[in-house]
Every structure is written in structure tokens, then in C-alpha cells.
Structure 1
């Protein structure tokens, strides 16, 4: 078979694409459900890994329809003249939501998702760790101060929906308390299971 070489390659953004990205069938929805399940799992891992690399939080079916967006490096492979079709991406997105690796955002539609390259539980730990490291436990913080901190952090630019989910996780373990503040909502992050 004189197909293009199946080898990993690095994108302009510095992301290392797996060798499967050079296989034309990877971009085609497979008729066999078992084969498609494997392809979908590979795409899911690729999407989440790439999103983490680029700090992308949203993925839309339109990203497969229109060129020139943040997702081009993985949704297209010009070397083999292939691209992921919108219907295939929609199938992958549905699977990701079913497996709790993404959530429809906004709700009540199926063409746009918030990606969980970190789960809300993992973001909760990042948030709590950040507050602890910056000496802000027991301090009332607005959501804006968390999303747009004076010193960039892992939380910079996190979507509000994801921040709320992380805070909710912390609230359930008595490590966060939601507080009304003058310009909306705030949170007090608490030390947690300290033995007093």
C-alpha cells in the first residue's frame, strides 16, 4: 500500500498529532459500529488533548464546516486531503456528552459543547489549590477575579459555566461558600477538612 506514511507530526501550534491522523479512514464515519466506536474514542482523546494544549473550551459542529478556526490543525489534514465532516463531528460530540467528557453549552441544543479536558472535579482542585497558593482562602472573591486574575493562572479564561460547576463541587465538600457581592456572585474558598 503506497499511502502516506503513518507517523506522528507536529502542528504549527506545537501539538504532536498521533500517526492515526494521517490515515484517511480516520476522517470517515465507519459503517461498522465497533470500528466506529474505536475511531470515536481516538477522536475524543485527540480533541481533549488538543483542547488542553491550546486551552480551548468550546467545540462547535461549525468548526468542521468552516476553515480558518482554532480547530483546523486537527479537524483537517491537507497532506491527505481529508477533513472531518460536520455529521461525523456531531456523532463524536454526542458520544462525548454521553460519556461525560463534554456538556452541551448552551443547554437545549446539540451543536456546541463545553469540553471537559479537565472534569469539574479536577477544576475544583485547581481552584482550591490556586486560592491556597495565593493566600486567598477565606477571602471573598468575585467570579471575575478568578477568571481574570491580575497574575495569569490555570483558571484564566475558564468559562463561567465550568467555574460554577467547580465551585459547586467544592461547596458539596464544605470547601466553598457562594456569596452575593455588589456586582453579582462571589465565593469564599475555605480551608477544607482541616482538623480543628
Structure 2
């Protein structure tokens, strides 16, 4: 895990309580969103489980003995969802509380664009690539999508499929993608 540089708010106790004044709350939520996205990017993490979140240093500042409550975490996740930076892992309509969330430090459109730009730049158009090659191959080691969660990769590739820039295919019991 990478060392996190905490913003000044992280040591400010009211930061861990969702503020009632709307303007202050909006600034606070914006600061939390930036912090969450930076934290997940630095740690190459992709899933947040609300039930375990308060054990994470992200939401638990032991130095000032403060934790962001679960309802505060959920409020921030809902804002991240509106901006395309988070999505519940469980798409069930019956669940009133989604516990596990994908965190997209890049939106799905941004991930899709990065992957397609890589494919174009490396002469992979009209070529089939395995999903493993994309996220673990020698040709992608220096790419930001190297090590990307397979669930997020599939969502990004489906975005490319909808844009008619890729086709997800099955071959020899493997999943792959053909860039168009």
C-alpha cells in the first residue's frame, strides 16, 4: 500500500461528522470524494465494503479518535455514484442498503478511453487480446489499467462495445476482446 498524504481536514474532528449546513456539507462531501478517490487510486483498490470501512484508516483517524459513521460513508458514496465514480456491486432492487461498492477513480468512460487509446497506440485494432493480457500482460505494465479489477475491466469493455469500438468474445474457455 502506498503512503497516503492526508489533507488538513483529516485531522479536523468535524470532518468526520456530516455537517448540517448545506454549503458546508457540499464542501465537506467534495473533500471526502477527492480523498476517497486518491486513497483508492494510491492503493490500487476497487471495492469498498461499508461494513468494514470504519476499520480502514481512510474513515478512521485514530490520531484524533474519530470515525466517519456508516450513514456518512453511504451519503458520500451516493454522491460519487452521481458523478460516475462509484456504483453498488449488488444491483438488487430489493436491497435498501448496498454494502459493497465499486470505486472508480476513473469513470468507466475514462477507463474505456485509456484502454482503447492503448489498443490504437499498440496496433491492436482488429486484433484479439485476452483479458489477462490487458490487466497483467507485459505490454501493459506501465499502463494505468494494469492490475485493474476484472469486474471494472468488463464494464469498461462493455462501454467500448456500446461505442462499437470493441467486441467481447469467448475462445478456448477464455474471454477476450477484439478492438474495432
TM-score class normalised by the smaller sequence: 0.7 to 0.9
Q: Which structure has the higher relative contact order (CA within 8 Å, separation 6+)?
A: 2
Query: Is residue 120 from structure 1 mapped to residue 108 from structure 2 by the alignment?
Result: yes
- 5+ residue gaps, structure 1, are 1-11, 191-196
* Aligned 1:4-153 pairs, distance under 5 A: 13-65=2-54, 67=55, 71-72=56-57, 74-108=58-92, 109=95, 110-150=98-138, 152=141, 153=143
CA distance in 1, matches of 2:99, 2:169: 33
- 5+ residue gaps, structure 2, are none
Using the size of structure 1 for normalisation, the TM-score is 0.77
Equivalences, count? 174
Query: Is residue 176 from structure 1 mapped to residue 160 from structure 2 by the alignment?
Result: no
Pick from 138, 145, 162: which aligns with 2:152?
A: 162
RMSD of aligned residue pairs (Cα, Å):
2.2
Using the size of structure 2 for normalisation, the TM-score is 0.83
**Structure of greater Rg:** 1
CA distance in 2, matches of 1:174, 1:160: 21
Say if 1:64 and 1:84, in contact at 8 Å, map to a contact too. Answer: no
